[in-house]
């Protein structure tokens, strides 16, 4: 079946450090890929997305590139802030029919001043 | 837009009691999802409705759980009887299906504690 594998957290970084959260996927078809973010006490919200190979999704300084050859969608940010502390979920969805979203387990990021 | 609305935000109940969680999806959205989030199991899809019809309920843990969507603007998730292992955060999400890719909009969640 379809699945998403994320690096386990928590990840603790100092402010202005470089962030990478790894994500790889397995899918029976050609998926769209997403990163969702969950801030403390809130629901998940979409951070960025990519729909085809080599697409780069970006938002709020975060980026991720859809790599079909390595089935990966790693999340990066050049300089993290304390306000980026949250849980980050990698996810995939296959087009057509039942558009179920398959989520990874989530990676908790803590940024310290 | 008010976003997905869930109530209550917090629920504390005793084992054996009935619990009803409520969700109002975003107006115009035709898909609705109920999820459960725990530290041990992460985010689990419980049930998915499309146009008010349950499409996939394979994630519903057992017969104690039931979900309804009587109209496009309201859904409930009921647990009867509740057990301590049901303690979790329950999220409702909605989306507009039919196009690709699509995104799900999550509500703030209901934190359920069963003692």
What tens digit of pLDDT does each residue of A25-62 get?
999 888 999 999 999 988 999 999 999 999 999 999 99
Q: What is the pLDDT of residue B97?
A: 75
- CA–CA separation, B44 and B30 (whole Å): 20
pLDDT of residue B62: 85
Distances (CA, A) of A82 to A16, A86, A108: 9, 9, 13
Q: Which residues of A touch B91 (CB under 8 A)?
A: 43-44
pLDDT tens digits along B68-115: 999 999 999 999 999 999 999 999 999 887 655 678 899 999 999 999
pLDDT of residue B100: 52
| Whether the predicted pLDDT of A100 surpasses 70 | yes
Q: Does B109 touch chain A (CB under 8 A)?
A: yes
To the nearest whole angstrom, how far is the Cα of B94 from the nearest Cα of chain A? 12
Q: Mark yes or no for CB contact B43/A41 under 8 Å.
A: no
In the structure encoding, which two tokens stand for residue A37, read together?
A: 């973010």
pLDDT of residue B94: 92
pLDDT for A1 equals 78
Tens-place pLDDT, residues B24-61 = 999 999 999 999 999 888 899 999 999 999 998 999 98
CA-to-CA distance for B67 and B60, rounded, in angstroms?
Answer: 9
Looking at chain A, the whole-number percentage of residues with pLDDT higher than 70 is 96
Determine whether the interchain pair A49/B91 forms a contact, defined as Cβ–Cβ distance below 8 Å.
no
Residue A88 pairs in a beta bridge with: A37, A107
Can the peptide bond before residue A10 be classed as cis, meaning omega within 30 degrees of 0?
yes
Cβ of residue A101 closer than 8 Å to a chain B Cβ: yes
Q: What is the mean pLDDT of residues A73-84?
A: 97
- B70: closest CA of chain A, how far (Å): 21
> Would the pLDDT of A107 be above 70?
yes
Chain B contact for A106 (CB, 8 A cutoff): yes
Please indicate if any CB of chain B lies within 8 Å of the CB of A89: yes
| Chain A hits for B39, Cβ within 8 Å | none
CB-CB under 8 Å, B97 with A51: no
C-alpha A95, offset from chain centre: 19
Confirm or reject contact between A17 and chain B (CB < 8 A): no
The owner of tokens 């859809």 is A66
Pairwise CB contact (< 8 Å): A42 & B100: no
Task: Check CB contact of A96 with chain B, cutoff 8 Å.
Answer: yes
Report pLDDT for A65. 98
**Residue A88 confidence (pLDDT) above 80:** yes
**Which SS3 state, helix, strand or coil, does residue B99 take?**
coil
Tell me how many residue pairs between chain A and chain B have CB atoms under 8 A apart: 54
Residue in B93, B97, B100 closest to A32 by CB = B100
């Amino acid at each position: 079946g379809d699945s998403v594998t994320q690096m386990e957290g928590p990840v603790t970084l100092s402010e202005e450090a470089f962030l990478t959260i790894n994500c790889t996927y397995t899918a029976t078809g050609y998926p769209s890929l997403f990163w969702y973010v969950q801030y403390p006490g809130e629901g998940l919200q979409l951070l960025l997305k990519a729909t085809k190979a080599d697409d780069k999704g970006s938002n709020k300084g975060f980026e991720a590139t859809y790599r079909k050859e390595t089935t990966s969608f790693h999340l990066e940010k050049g300089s993290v802030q304390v306000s980026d502390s949250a849980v980050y979920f990698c996810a995939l969805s296959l087009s057509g029919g039942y558009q179920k979203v398959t989520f990874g387990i989530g990676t908790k990021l803590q940024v310290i001043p | 837009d008010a976003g997905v609305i869930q109530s209550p935000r917090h629920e504390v109940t005793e084992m054996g009691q009935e619990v009803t969680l409520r969700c109002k999806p975003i107006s115009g959205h035709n898909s609705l999802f109920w999820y459960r989030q725990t530290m041990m199991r992460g985010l689990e899809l419980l049930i998915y409705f499309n146009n008010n019809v349950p499409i996939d309920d394979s994630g519903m843990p057992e017969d104690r759980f039931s979900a309804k969507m009587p109209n496009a603007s309201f859904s409930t998730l009921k647990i009867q009887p509740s057990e301590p292992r049901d303690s979790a955060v329950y999220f409702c999400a909605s989306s507009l299906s039919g196009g690709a890719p699509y995104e799900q909009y999550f509500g703030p969640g209901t934190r359920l504690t069963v003692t």
